[in-house]
Structure 1
Amino acid sequence: MHNPTLLQFFHWYYPDGGKLWPEVAERAAWLAETGITDVWLPPAYKGESGGYSVGYDTYDLFDLGEFDQKGSRATKYGDKQQLLAAVDALKAQQIGVILDVVLNHKMGADEKERMLVNRVNPDNREEIAEEVIEAEAWTRFTFPVRDGKYSRFVWDYKCFSGVDHIENPDENGVFKIVNDYTGEGWNDQVDDELGNFDYLMGANIDFRNKAVTEELKYWARWVMNEVHCTGFRLDAVKHIPAWFYKQWIDHIQEVAEKPMFIVAEYWAHEVDKLQHYIHQVDGKTMLFDAPLQMNFHIASQEGAGYDLSQIFHNTLVEKDPWHAVTLVANHDTQPLQALEAPVDAWFKPLAYALILLREQGVPTVFYPDLFGASYQDSGSDGENCQIEMPAIPALEALIQARQRYAHGVQTDWFDHPDCVAFARSGTESLPGCVVIMSNGDEGEKTLPLGSDLAGKTWCDLLGHRQETVTADAEGNALFRCNGGSVSVWVIQA
């Protein structure tokens, strides 16, 4: 059984023009050979900005690049035929297909509707004004081009709890929609940031409307049958009631031929919030380890001033490894994005070694770290920035090492602020490894590996150290790494 290893096969600034689905198909065999077991694909359906949409401005869940809507037939990543060809190529290599799901909101409505709304204090959404305003808002989704194919469901204002723009009178802000289908206030079991973080953007889907929840369950069945995916990545779950996703996940697992891999994005750096969400959904989803990603960011900024022995302190992989999906970067944390917290290039090999070669957590590799990326965008100061994200030279070898050497019992030596190490013992049939890293000067540790390894000779798989290391008669060996670097020591064949 391969060690599960995810690849996020996109980033926020991936070029448009239908290039991604063909690239997935082209690289599928190489990914399998390298050791990737599952590929996380971006939202595959039509967004408000059509062929330029990254996918998080959901317009039509049933348009996978098939209908000429929002200015294009294909999505940014390609058309439906190319998507299905990419999925087929991955599955031919026994690679799982994880689809990104954005169910929090819809954008780009086809028609305006007249409705009643209350103004809301955007800094405290619990403060809902008593005054009722009659206004218009873009909340009716009829998908005229699709014309009822796959689903005849029409979304209207009764399906939503809030909007951020009204007309007649024209205002921007946060507005609570008044209707009999949703009740008063916002949904419960959401994050408590800003009082209640139910509302995020666009036309905010209200899961208290049973017709809505049934349509979203139906869509899940449809897309599972259409695309034959093996799992889902759930976007923005801190804004969606936990009780809904508990029901939704139960439903898809019941109808799936095999258990679906589910990971959710609850982007909070307080590990207790992540654990609380896992409890609310009865452990039915894994979560991305946002606290660990932030630790990596801070460690890369502080260099030798950061205490490496505490790198896993207050992280999900430390507190609940069975529900942790670990990562070094993603499309939200990359430079110029909303949750920008990039990990400096020098530290990325250390961070990837810490998620790829350990027992705990399911690691995720980010596309630019494996293949590189270059893009331009304006920063928070309005100035245009050119961003270069070079591929990490050691990353391919680290992914391969996960499948070849990350086996057996794990022993940690996190006993120094600038130099830490851990070993995997191997099994009867699979080899182990020794990993040592430093965020300061050259590091070294004498490790007691046991008499079974007496006389064995080790070399650095990454080639950062040229010498070999031979264990003494008791199985002790002195391992070194370069300053600000990592070495993965394996037994010479």
Structure 2
Amino acid sequence: MKKHNYLFLLLLSISLLLGSCSTDDSGDPVDPTDDVGETPQPNPQPTEPQAINLSSYDNGSRVMMQAFYWDVEPRFAWWDNLSSKVADWSDAGINRLWLPVATKGQSGGYSMGYDVSDYYDFGNYTQHGTLETRFGSRAELENLISTAHDNNVEVIADIVINHNSGGGLQYNPYRDYDTYTLFDEDHGNASGMFNRTYEDFYPNSVSEYDPGSLFYSETNLDHHRERVQDWLWKKDNSVAKYYKNVMGFDGWRFDYVLGFEPWVVKEWLDEVGGFSVVELWDGRASVLEDYVEETGAGAFDFATFYNLEEGLDRYEDLNNLTDAGLWQTYPEKAVTFTANHDTEKDDNIDNYIKRSNKMKAYSFILTHPGYPTIFYSDYENESFQEELKTLISIHNSLAVGDTEVLYVDEDEYVMKRSGTGTNPGLILYISINNSTKRRTVSSNWNNVTLMDYSGNTTYNPTSDESGMVQIEAPANGYAIYSITE
């Protein structure tokens, strides 16, 4: 055979070898350094595509900050710590702060507030061994609320209206033994407001049934009693009206709503209004939907949280991301999240999204419908903060329009937001594969060069005349595509 034929065969072999490194429409792994030999792009890519100005596409959406974690430190200085951060959070796109329970609990200076004792002691009465709460003084709380309002940020009160703790012993004829059901100026209620006795707790002369006996079963408030309703939400100096009109809180996070009937939340909101979200710890979207319909309140979207935990962690199957979530039926009532003070403590295994998957989970809730919550410990983590700021910026600008899942399998998930009017929307591509992936999908953009606004890939494809475009997800990561200038 002649020499030039050998050379021809050698070149052909090299060409075939190079072609085998690139992706096809099956989403096979690709060599991220090699764009040569893959499915040809309809139009040449520009050398330096220019990002659109996201601030020009402000969609009015914002996110909430859960401004605490379990057993926050330093004690007695938390309100001042938050006050120093509010301006930065507001600039980043935060419009609400969910604060921990702000009043004195039985554990005094160590209490996270969920062992509520005095509903009106914000760190201004000496009891349970301390003047200030774990978080600081009343004056420091009032300064935090004022600072938040000055930065156009609402403040959400964590409300515990089921279980009480820290009262004095008294004989309880309905149980025929002594119970810690005496709350007065000398027994855990130094404010003297909403003093309580055994008649205010289950069982009593009005009620025998206790709907929520999981916590402090002897001191669960009976909301059927008119007196309890008056003090919690009806009277002018009720807990609800005092928090709103005197302290300046703008809304409510209702703790452990399984401990009382839904009508309680509805009546509270009918009386005082304000933003609301309930902690109904149930992974079934249908249960959350029923509660929203019955009360009018928002709800933490535990269904979506578990979809993310199962898809990214437990089963490593992104098909779980398409399971029902509250955001699909009640996006305006779904408060989505990836972590909270409960999921991030006590070595939770099935209630926890591991660190390596956190940003993928955030990319999901910050591009899908719903009202996302950022967890303080994640945002203040130097490894996450800039990435979260970027995701919040994308959420507050491009995350609009109808939602369509373009492709999903065990290790890939591609979702499109259609945009509205002049807002172009976005495409989210999550991969838990250990290799870079590419996939051709249908966009709403014809003959437009795209870029990843998360900054996780520099691959800039161009859509064809029908909107088809091949996008890329980095190994075990995500990308969020939209148009360029």
TM > 0.5:
yes
Question: Of residues 317, 331, 346 in structure 1, which corresponds to 2:341?
Answer: 331
Distance 2:331 2:320 in 1: 16
Structure-2 residue corresponding to 1:101: 159
Q: Does 1:296 pair with 2:308?
A: yes
Matched AA of 2:149: K
Structure-2 residue corresponding to 1:484: 476
Q: Do 2:99 and 2:156's aligned partners in 1 also have CA atoms closer than 8 Å?
A: yes
Q: Do 2:62 and 2:395's aligned partners in 1 also have CA atoms closer than 8 Å?
A: no
Would the alpha carbon gap of residues 409 and 183 (structure 1) be closer, same or farther in structure 2, given more than 3 Å must change?
closer
Distance 1:249 1:437 in 2: 38
Question: Of residues 138, 141, 161 in structure 1, which corresponds to 2:183?
Answer: 141
Q: Does 1:397 pair with 2:390?
A: yes
Q: Give the superposition deviation at 1:15.
A: 0.9
Q: Does 1:349 pair with 2:359?
A: yes
Structure holding more strand per residue: 1
Question: Of residues 52, 64, 69 in structure 1, which corresponds to 2:122?
Answer: 64
- Alignment RMSD (CA, Å): 2.3
Q: Does 1:370 pair with 2:379?
A: yes
Question: Of residues 223, 232, 236 in structure 2, which corresponds to 1:207?
Answer: 223
Q: Do 2:308 and 2:320's aligned partners in 1 also have CA atoms closer than 8 Å?
A: no
Q: Do 2:265 and 2:297's aligned partners in 1 also have CA atoms closer than 8 Å?
A: no
Q: Do 2:108 and 2:127's aligned partners in 1 also have CA atoms closer than 8 Å?
A: yes
SS at match of 2:109: helix
Structure-2 residue corresponding to 1:159: 200
Structure-2 residue corresponding to 1:130: none
Q: Do 2:309 and 2:350's aligned partners in 1 also have CA atoms closer than 8 Å?
A: no
Question: Of residues 424, 435, 446 in structure 1, which corresponds to 2:440?
Answer: 446
Distance 2:298 2:415 in 1: 25
1:109-124 to 2 correspondence within 5 Å? 109=167, 111-118=168-175
- Equivalenced residue count is 421
Which has the higher mean CA deviation after the structures are superposed, 465-474 or 337-346? Answer: 337-346
Distance 2:471 2:128 in 1: 58
Per-residue CA deviation, residues 261-281 of structure 1 (Å, 9 max, x unaligned), is 110001112333323323432
SS at match of 2:220: strand
Q: Give the superposition deviation at 1:483.
A: 2.1
Structure-1 residue corresponding to 2:22: none
Would the alpha carbon gap of residues 339 and 155 (structure 1) be closer, same or farther in structure 2, given more than 3 Å must change?
farther
Per-residue CA deviation, residues 183-233 of structure 1 (Å, 9 max, x unaligned), is 33324xxxxxxxxx4442261111122111110111111110122222110
Q: Do 1:444 and 1:481's aligned partners in 2 also have CA atoms closer than 8 Å?
A: yes
| Greater radius of gyration (CA) | 2
Distance 2:465 2:303 in 1: 42
Q: Do 2:118 and 2:190's aligned partners in 1 also have CA atoms closer than 8 Å?
A: no
Question: Of residues 195, 209, 230 in structure 2, which corresponds to 1:185?
Answer: 209
Distance 2:216 2:463 in 1: 59
Would the alpha carbon gap of residues 393 and 28 (structure 1) be closer, same or farther in structure 2, given more than 3 Å must change?
closer
Q: Give the superposition deviation at 1:52.
A: 1.1
Would the alpha carbon gap of residues 208 and 464 (structure 1) be closer, same or farther in structure 2, given more than 3 Å must change?
same
Q: Does 1:7 pair with 2:51?
A: no
Q: Give the superposition deviation at 1:66.
A: 1.2
Matched AA of 2:449: T
Q: Do 2:326 and 2:334's aligned partners in 1 also have CA atoms closer than 8 Å?
A: yes
Q: Do 2:432 and 2:475's aligned partners in 1 also have CA atoms closer than 8 Å?
A: yes
Q: Give the superposition deviation at 1:336.
A: 0.9
Would the alpha carbon gap of residues 273 and 372 (structure 1) be closer, same or farther in structure 2, given more than 3 Å must change?
same
Matched AA of 2:184: T
TM-score, normalising length from structure 2? 0.81
Q: Does 1:226 pair with 2:221?
A: no
Which has the higher mean CA deviation after the structures are superposed, 305-314 or 480-489? Answer: 305-314
SS at match of 2:85: helix
Matched AA of 1:403: N
SS at match of 1:212: helix
Give me the identity figure in percent.
26
Question: Of residues 215, 235, 242 in structure 1, which corresponds to 2:262?
Answer: 242
Structure-2 residue corresponding to 1:269: 283
Structure-2 residue corresponding to 1:378: none
Would the alpha carbon gap of residues 412 and 295 (structure 1) be closer, same or farther in structure 2, given more than 3 Å must change?
closer
SS at match of 1:13: coil
Q: Does 1:463 pair with 2:472?
A: no
Q: Do 1:141 and 1:154's aligned partners in 2 also have CA atoms closer than 8 Å?
A: yes
Distance 2:310 2:405 in 1: 22
Distance 1:152 1:424 in 2: 50
Distance 2:447 2:142 in 1: 52
Q: Give the superposition deviation at 1:39.
A: 1.1
SS at match of 1:426: coil
Which has the higher mean CA deviation after the structures are superposed, 322-331 or 16-25? Answer: 16-25
1:249-268 to 2 correspondence within 5 Å? 249-253=269-273, 260-268=274-282
Q: Give the superposition deviation at 1:350.
A: 1.6
SS at match of 1:405: coil
Q: Does 1:75 pair with 2:159?
A: no
